Structure formats: structure tokens, C-alpha cells
């Protein structure tokens, strides 16, 4: 197991649920991250889906003690470099391209690459990846599909993301090839817009206690 794989696993094992955030207002980034960390969710994925995403990562990296910020929805080498420069400690992609594999190989910051089929998983294993994002989890076959991969693709570990809720998270977390899940329910937009950080801490606390 390589150093980057060990680093990624140590981050993903911090908690059963990695919050997947779409931050539209930069002013929300720091209090939102503090609320999540207070609830026990230290590793935080901030997706590059908004104009303020990179600045949000930078703010969380600089100002939120205990937070381990990562960048999600990273699609190319330029975004990878920008995310690392902003302070991301891990990078998440919805799928995988040769460009991403090339930049990840040269970077000290680990990549959690996306895969949804057995062939994609096998290709990533050939590239040395042991931990992958299973995306979009529910739409790609859910926990039953992922369970069916555990025997023929033994050794591959997953962070399922996409359609994960408090109702089905335990189904995924019970699988032998799941290290954690990604979910957006811990930071619903209504609570974020209202600045209800205590409410988000409560949701984060509940999520941090999820297990098989």
C-alpha cells in the first residue's frame, strides 16, 4: 500500500459519513465547516460546482481547526492544481480520465477516483488504486450491486456517494468493501441558508454515530 493510499484511508476512516457540500455563499463556508466538525465530521468535501468553491476550501483550510477539507467534482488537471493550492487534503472525482490519473500520480495529495462498473474498478486497480468513489451509488445499482462486487473484486474499497440518505446509509456501511459513505443530507440547503449551525451540528452528530 502506497503512502497516498494510506493517507486517503486515514482521512476516510475519520468518520462514517463524508459531507458533500455545494457552497453558494462564501460567508457560509467557515461556520458550516465548524458546525460539521463540532458534530464529529472532520473530513469535508467541498464540490467545485460554484464560483466560490475554491475560496471556500481556502477559508476552511485556514480558519477551521480540526477540519480536513477536500475538493469534489474535480474534472481536470487545472482544477486538481487549483484545489491543492487552496488547501485541499484530498481530491474527489465523479469519474476517471487519463489526465486526472497523470496529475494525481505527480501530486502528493491523494485522489479518490470515481468508478461505477466492474471494468472501471479493474482499470483503476491496474493503476494502483485500492480506494474508489462509487458514483452515482443509488442510480448505479445501490448497495446490492456494490455487495456483488466484493467477492470478484476483493481488496477494492469504496466510498459510495449519490442518493445516500440516513435511511440507506447503514445498508452501505454494513458492506465489507465500504470504508465510508458520502452524503449531502448533513448540510441541507434550508439550514445553511437560515444559518442554523446548531441544527447542522445535530445532523452531523447523528451521522457520525452511524455504523453497520
**Can 106 be counted among the known catalytic residues?**
no
DSSP assignment of 92-149 equals E-SS--HHHHHHHHH-SS-EE-EE-SHHHHHHHHHTT--EEEETTTTTTTHHHHHHHH
Catalytic residue among 13, 133, 138, 193: 133
**Can 4 be counted among the known catalytic residues?**
no
Among 188, 185, 183, 95, smallest CA distance to 140 is for 95
105 φ/ψ angles, rounded to the nearest 5 degrees: -60, -35
- Helix, strand or coil, per DSSP, at residue 71: strand
Among 153, 147, 154, 135, smallest CA distance to 174 is for 147
Greatest pairwise CA separation for the chain in angstroms: 47
Cα–Cα distances in Å, from 167 out to 98, 126, 171, 185, 211?
36, 34, 8, 11, 12
Query: What are 90's strand-pairing partners?
Result: 70
Catalytic residue among 4, 13, 24, 45: 45
Catalytically annotated residues: 45, 133
Amino acid at each position: 500500500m502506497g503512502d497516498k493510499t494510506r493517507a486517503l484511508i486515514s482521512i476516510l476512516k475519520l468518520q462514517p459519513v463524508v459531507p458533500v457540500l455545494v457552497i453558494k455563499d462564501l460567508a457560509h463556508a467557515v461556520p458550516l465547516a465548524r458546525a460539521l466538525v463540532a458534530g464529529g465530521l472532520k473530513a469535508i468535501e467541498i464540490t467545485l460546482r460554484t464560483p466560490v468553491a475554491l475560496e471556500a476550501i481556502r477559508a476552511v483550510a485556514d480558519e477551521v481547526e480540526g477540519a480536513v477539507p477536500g475538493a469534489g467534482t474535480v474534472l481536470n488537471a487545472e482544477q486538481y492544481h487549483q484545489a491543492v493550492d487552496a488547501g485541499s487534503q484530498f481530491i474527489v472525482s465523479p469519474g476517471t480520465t487519463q489526465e486526472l490519473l497523470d496529475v494525481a500520480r505527480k501530486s502528493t495529495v491523494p485522489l479518490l477516483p470515481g468508478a461505477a462498473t466492474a471494468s472501471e474498478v479493474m482499470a483503476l486497480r491496474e493503476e494502483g488504486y485500492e480506494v474508489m468513489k462509487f458514483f452515482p451509488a443509488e442510480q448505479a445499482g445501490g448497495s446490492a450491486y456494490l455487495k456483488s462486487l466484493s467477492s470478484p473484486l476483493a481488496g477494492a474499497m469504496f466510498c459510495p456517494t449519490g442518493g445516500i440518505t440516513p435511511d440507506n446509509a447503514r445498508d452501505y456501511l454494513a458492506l465489507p468493501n465500504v470504508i465510508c459513505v458520502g452524503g449531502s443530507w448533513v448540510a441541507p440547503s434550508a439550514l445553511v441558508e437560515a444559518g442554523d449551525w446548531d441544527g447542522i451540528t445535530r445532523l452531523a452528530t447523528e451521522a457520525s454515530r452511524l455504523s453497520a
